[in-house]
């Protein structure tokens, strides 16, 4: 797949520019460049090449292995449905769409079985998918049935009129509401992680955290996204040394829960793309989450 970028600033390194505008690390970009898959104004340059305003950067990604996305009879918990969209409660442990490591048994496979029409904007591997939840994060998601609904909902994500709120149980006690913001990018020491970085290596992110309940060794938080970056809540809480319980990727290992991070998308608010009316859906915490809260309350 070929991607084209036009530089809109002066005196920025090629590798820095591409880390800013993609999810790739500088080392991975150097590897791509060494393989001749990056061209500047039609020519191969070094990864440290200094770009100028107006330079054209062409990035040739390797072809992704083709995955046959088929319908599978996986149960769906549909909270709301009409001709334009549906709101679902995604189960913990379910990957949202097929990828190189997970080629089947995803939410998309379930949608193809249960829903006749889905938007096509994100292609055959992500039909209907407006936004994602991590595999081990359960809760509310919107799925678009039509392309027009998909475009409207995507615009709401950008202009922040589509709001998502989560519950997270974190390690340690916090007694005051707080905000974490900054540029979020790939952790150069562990590419599976996201981490706060500088402006040249990440995208702006902001999460508003409010206290729900404080326990002896844990805190239950309400988390409101104002941006939607990969692993945003998980990485933000790791950055203040209060990782989510069960989140082994970000240091949240805890014997009290070992089946994934205790993060749940419990509320979503948006403007209906056809009626223009505000819609809000809220659901209670799942049993596995409540059992942990009961245990630490005693």
- Active site residues per annotation: 134
Phi and psi angles of residue 113, each rounded to the nearest 5 degrees, phi first: -80, -40
Phi and psi angles of residue 188, each rounded to the nearest 5 degrees, phi first: -65, -20
Would you state the structure tokens that stand for residue 113, as one six-digit string?
Answer: 């079985």
**Residue 137 buriedness (CB in 10 A; 0-12 / 13-18 / 19+):** buried
| Residues 113, 109: Cα–Cα separation, whole Å | 7
Q: Given the structure tokens 């769906």, which residue do they identify?
A: 76
């Amino acid at each position: 797949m070929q991607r084209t970028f036009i530089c809109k600033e002066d005196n920025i390194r090629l590798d820095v520019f591409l880390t800013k505008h993609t999810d790739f690390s500088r080392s991975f970009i150097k590897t791509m460049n060494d393989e001749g898959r990056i061209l500047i104004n039609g020519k191969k340059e070094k990864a440290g090449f200094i770009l100028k305003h107006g330079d054209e950067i062409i990035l040739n990604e390797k072809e992704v292995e083709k995955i046959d996305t088929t319908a599978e009879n996986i149960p769906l918990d549909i909270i709301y449905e009409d001709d334009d969209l549906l709101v679902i409660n995604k189960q913990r442990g379910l990957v949202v769409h097929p990828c190189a490591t997970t080629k089947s048994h995803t939410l998309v496979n379930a949608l193809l079985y249960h829903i006749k029409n889905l938007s096509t904007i994100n292609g055959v591997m992500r039909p209907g998918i407006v936004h994602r939840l991590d595999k081990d994060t359960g809760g509310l998601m919107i799925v678009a049935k039509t392309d027009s609904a998909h475009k409207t909902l995507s615009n709401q994500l950008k202009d922040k009129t589509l709001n998502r709120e989560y519950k997270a149980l974190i390690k340690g006690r916090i007694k005051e509401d707080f905000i974490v913001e900054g540029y979020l990018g790939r952790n150069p020491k562990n590419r599976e992680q996201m981490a706060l970085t500088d402006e040249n290596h990440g995208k702006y992110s902001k999460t508003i955290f409010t206290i729900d309940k404080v326990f002896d060794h844990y805190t239950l938080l309400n988390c409101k996204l104002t941006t939607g970056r990969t692993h945003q809540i998980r990485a933000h809480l790791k950055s203040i040394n209060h990782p989510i319980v069960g989140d082994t990727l970000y240091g949240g290992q805890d014997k009290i829960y070992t089946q994934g991070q205790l993060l749940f998308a419990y509320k979503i608010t948006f403007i209906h793309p056809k009626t223009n009316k505000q819609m809000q859906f809220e659901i209670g915490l799942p049993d596995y989450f409540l059992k942990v809260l009961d245990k630490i309350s005693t």
